[in-house]
Chains A and B, each alone.
Chain A
């Protein structure tokens, strides 16, 4: 007989909870209602200069800093015909293995050109191991207005030092010379 009131009390908890405000966040239905904090460590992004050249110089300092050995980089030389970044060197191969990455952000601290930053994208589940190794094309940031897809020359008259000093504000038509197919993202807004 002593158990009955206790059981009733337990069911009571359940009963009254049904009328309380729900704390569960529905995923994926309501994900847009709950964005991560701005400084959340999500998927990486390889940034571009305002004219579309890549910021990555293939120096591998991110790979060196990585405690999980998740990053693989191979550098290569830019040439006058095929330029991906200002200066002499660019990252020809850039891979981050998200099965290994622990999102500690040491790579971001190591990057000397701020080519590598982290986004808030946390949706990194997938069904195969291979697809979780992100290549450079997967990591490169979006083409923003005024950008011209690499490879293309630097802004005429400027050097890599000017890029690092932030003097480049967007691509100029001369950079698309010889590339009729090149599609400069319209500088709207």
Chain B
């Protein structure tokens, strides 16, 4: 339980009232609930339904207290204190004590005594409060009510109805916080139970939170069921590595295996929530890992010793010299990204480095360097809640940054914030934040931003207004420029919300061509002097020209202009131009892969180093705010080496000094360097033009493709968790009713691009005409790989022949 943050609110003018709890008088802010006032004095009133982040409901009645002047005991969780009120808790009032004992006895009447097999046993509020304020003996000797158990409310969430005390925490969470009101209390009296509609499972991206807040063991997760007991587990506070929301997590492990992850309490970031991906997608940490270094000999990868692999890597890099490219996947920590950035500049003498394993553009690089890199933490979760208006561009928060979505929903529920999205789809996520859509065809977002309605433009001029731009803006020519210009024109603060946890980390660490750590420009003389001094080299030793990035880097590799490539956590299939990425790998003379799982790159790499996953190293992620999210090492006895350590060893083998020894050292160095305080480059000012249209075979309607990655999809870090995968949203092609009618209202369509087709069911939704929406990388529908198109390209869509099944 936590107190919610009141950061950003106006602390000056708070009316205080005086309340007496058990004879002790204190001043509390007006509107405080009696249960919180008692907490302030250290008096713990038993409770099940009360949760500081949910609206009071007084459903469980466990918190009954005596209020002077009231004829009957009142629930403390719903009783707002008034000036001069005197309340007596179980500590001083026999009436309250007896009322609480009575309620607990009632709650336990039908509660099964299966604590030994219950996942909650050992950390159960019902157990604890039955011991602390309950009656020692039950007087009930009848038959307990039994239900069939467990039932699946979703693939991941199991419900044991007989354990439920009808506190309505889960239903209130689903309704208020997540906006997925599929859980509801059904029936009445003794038969009251939580349930879902028969045809509508609780498929929410946030369903795991209900397991965590359930005060009894009624809701459990299929992944953790019977895996361990709470007293076996060692808990370590960590940071989620799945997206740039930067959730605090609690990682629980037993004997070297992570058994579960819970949302940890951080009022400034994730409050007490997280998404199901962060909660359940961790089997990849253990399964299918590369266990030893490998080198390629006669075309075959074979395990090798560390010295042998380091020698091979050092020889290859020495031969390649500065004609080397470095691809840092967007999942690295600040420390690792810093090591890559420094290794590239100091050891390789090159500036060919990029962290964007996704759609990227030169315009985006200029935008990031000028506006985002090294910028201070000004736009935060708290400021989202206070903003009069939030404009989202090329961003679907529910899928791409779920905690941002939760905050937007909280802000919208409070009624203060107007949320506007520029895009082609009014998604369900947008409806949940009560947002409005500014229609823009894919690729034409820039024009839409330039021609925003006057009321939105003036709203953006209000203090506290925020523009959130997603990483998909890179697919829009002129998009980053238009967003930067809008922010400059209106004075709204601008934040970039990438998808991956390591994108902002890598950007601020300088893992992008032309950028040094802290948002310094490579070609700025002062910046060069500062960085060179920190790195103990002469400024002239830094590369003198901006290197290759993005697809130019891949093209150079394809054409054989790069003699070597270093990759760290790169999934080739994440590049929009799959063939170019493959050709780049084939064309590069020598490839060093720092990976923890085998992938398309390790199949071609000449040297493979196994590197640590997040549980085996400490580090820092920067979330989308730019807020450092440091985390410690979970498995302290792990021998796995972080990327930074491996790079350090390669440098040592090459008899070069990288000067990167440990996480603490890197943090010290980065702290001393600090963010760039000097002149910033101008934001890009590219003109907007319509996106190029790919040549698609013309045997159907040509529709513009909109696609983004669903939160739960075919991502490699979600492997090994079938229950989670089963809660993914269905793979559908969404289009407007008129568009569907124009191709004959088919049940399913065949979507065809230059490379191939996918057959997917049609879902009619609020999509602008002439657009089809697909998940970017879901099972059975990988836009880049299967269709060979990019976001915004035209695809041919025709009715699929009735059920001949599958992808062609």
Q: Which residues of A contact B (CB under 8 A)?
A: 57-61, 63-64, 74-77, 87-89, 112-113
A64 and B231 contacting across the interface, CB-CB below 8 Å: yes
Residue among A59, A77, A87, A112 making CB contact with B229, cutoff 8 Å: A59
Residues in B with CB closer than 8 Å to A59 are 116-117, 121, 229
B112 to chain A, nearest CB (A): 10
Tell me, in angstroms, the Cα distance from A182 to B149 when the chains sit together.
Answer: 30
B115 to chain A, nearest CB (A): 8
A159 to chain B, nearest CB (A): 9
B232 and A87 contacting across the interface, CB-CB below 8 Å: no
B116 and A61 contacting across the interface, CB-CB below 8 Å: yes
A64 and B116 contacting across the interface, CB-CB below 8 Å: no
B117 and A89 contacting across the interface, CB-CB below 8 Å: yes
Tell me, in angstroms, the Cα distance from A63 to B122 when the chains sit together.
Answer: 13
A89 and B231 contacting across the interface, CB-CB below 8 Å: no
A89 and B226 contacting across the interface, CB-CB below 8 Å: yes
Tell me, in angstroms, the Cα distance from A59 to B122 when the chains sit together.
Answer: 11
Q: Known contacts being A57-B117, A59-B117, is A64 close to B229, with CB within 8 Å? A: yes
B232 and A75 contacting across the interface, CB-CB below 8 Å: no
Q: Which residue of A lies closest to B160 (CB)?
A: A88
B contact patch SS: loop
Q: 0/1 per residue, B135-151, Cβ < 8 Å to A?
A: 00000000000000110
A93 to chain B, nearest CB (A): 10
- In chain B, positions 178-231 with a C-beta closer than 8 Å to chain A are 225-229, 231
Residues in A with CB closer than 8 Å to B231 are 60, 64
Residues in A with CB closer than 8 Å to B226 are 58, 75-77, 88-89
Give the interface centre of A58, A89, A113 by most chain B CB atoms within 10 Å.
A89
Offer 28 A-B interface pairs, CB within 8 angstroms, sorted by A: A57-B117, A58-B117, A59-B116, A59-B117, A59-B121, A59-B229, A60-B231, A60-B232, A61-B116, A63-B232, A64-B122, A64-B231, A74-B227, A74-B228, A75-B226, A75-B227, A75-B228, A75-B229, A76-B226, A77-B225, A77-B226, A87-B117, A88-B117, A88-B149, A88-B150, A89-B117, A89-B226, A112-B116
A62 to chain B, nearest CB (A): 10
Number of A-B contacts defined by CB within 8 Å: 35
Other CB < 8 Å A-B pairs besides A58-B226, A77-B225, 10 of them?
A: A57-B117, A59-B121, A63-B232, A64-B231, A75-B227, A75-B229, A88-B149, A88-B226, A89-B226, A113-B116
Q: Which residue of B lies closest to A159 (CB)?
A: B146
B24 to chain A, nearest CB (A): 38
Q: Which residue of B lies closest to A91 (CB)?
A: B226
Q: How many residues of B contact A (CB 8 A)?
A: 13
Residues in A with CB closer than 8 Å to B149 are 88
Tell me, in angstroms, the Cα distance from A177 to B253 when the chains sit together.
Answer: 40
B575 to chain A, nearest CB (A): 41
Residues in B with CB closer than 8 Å to A58 are 117, 226
Q: Which residue of B lies closest to A58 (CB)?
A: B226
A105 to chain B, nearest CB (A): 18
Residues in B with CB closer than 8 Å to A74 are 227-228
Residues in A with CB closer than 8 Å to B121 are 59
Q: Which residue of B lies closest to A59 (CB)?
A: B116
Chain A to chain B: the 5 pairs with minimum beta-carbon distance, closest first = A59-B116, A75-B226, A89-B117, A112-B116, A60-B229
A104 to chain B, nearest CB (A): 18
B604 to chain A, nearest CB (A): 40
Tell me, in angstroms, the Cα distance from A76 to B223 when the chains sit together.
Answer: 11
A57 and B225 contacting across the interface, CB-CB below 8 Å: no
A57 and B229 contacting across the interface, CB-CB below 8 Å: no
Tell me, in angstroms, the Cα distance from A60 to B231 when the chains sit together.
Answer: 9
Tell me, in angstroms, the Cα distance from A87 to B149 when the chains sit together.
Answer: 10
A57 and B116 contacting across the interface, CB-CB below 8 Å: yes
Q: Which residue of A lies closest to B144 (CB)?
A: A161
Tell me, in angstroms, the Cα distance from A128 to B225 when the chains sit together.
Answer: 35
Q: Which residue of B lies closest to A60 (CB)?
A: B229
Tell me, in angstroms, the Cα distance from A74 to B254 when the chains sit together.
Answer: 10
B71 to chain A, nearest CB (A): 43
A85 to chain B, nearest CB (A): 10
Q: Which residue of B lies closest to A113 (CB)?
A: B116
Residues in A with CB closer than 8 Å to B117 are 57-59, 75, 87-89
A100 to chain B, nearest CB (A): 16
Tell me, in angstroms, the Cα distance from A57 to B231 when the chains sit together.
Answer: 17
Tell me, in angstroms, the Cα distance from A88 to B121 when the chains sit together.
Answer: 15
Tell me, in angstroms, the Cα distance from A106 to B227 when the chains sit together.
Answer: 23
- In chain B, positions 74-126 with a C-beta closer than 8 Å to chain A are 116-117, 121-122
Residues in B with CB closer than 8 Å to A63 are 232
Tell me, in angstroms, the Cα distance from A75 to B122 when the chains sit together.
Answer: 15
Tell me, in angstroms, the Cα distance from A42 to B150 when the chains sit together.
Answer: 39
Residues in A with CB closer than 8 Å to B229 are 59-60, 64, 75
Q: Which residue of B lies closest to A88 (CB)?
A: B117
Residues in A with CB closer than 8 Å to B225 are 77
Tell me, in angstroms, the Cα distance from A76 to B231 when the chains sit together.
Answer: 17
B101 to chain A, nearest CB (A): 25
Q: Which residue of A lies closest to B114 (CB)?
A: A87
Tell me, in angstroms, the Cα distance from A113 to B232 when the chains sit together.
Answer: 21
A136 to chain B, nearest CB (A): 16
B147 to chain A, nearest CB (A): 13
Residues in B with CB closer than 8 Å to A75 are 117, 226-229
A55 to chain B, nearest CB (A): 12
B231 to chain A, nearest CB (A): 6
Residues in A with CB closer than 8 Å to B232 are 60, 63
Tell me, in angstroms, the Cα distance from A59 to B232 when the chains sit together.
Answer: 11
Q: Which residue of B lies closest to A87 (CB)?
A: B117
Tell me, in angstroms, the Cα distance from A75 to B116 when the chains sit together.
Answer: 11
B13 to chain A, nearest CB (A): 52
B159 to chain A, nearest CB (A): 13
Tell me, in angstroms, the Cα distance from A74 to B121 when the chains sit together.
Answer: 15
Tell me, in angstroms, the Cα distance from A158 to B753 when the chains sit together.
Answer: 59
Tell me, in angstroms, the Cα distance from A57 to B115 when the chains sit together.
Answer: 11
Residues in A with CB closer than 8 Å to B227 are 74-75
B226 to chain A, nearest CB (A): 4
B156 to chain A, nearest CB (A): 15
Residues in A with CB closer than 8 Å to B228 are 74-75
Residues in B with CB closer than 8 Å to A57 are 116-117
Q: Which residue of B lies closest to A64 (CB)?
A: B231
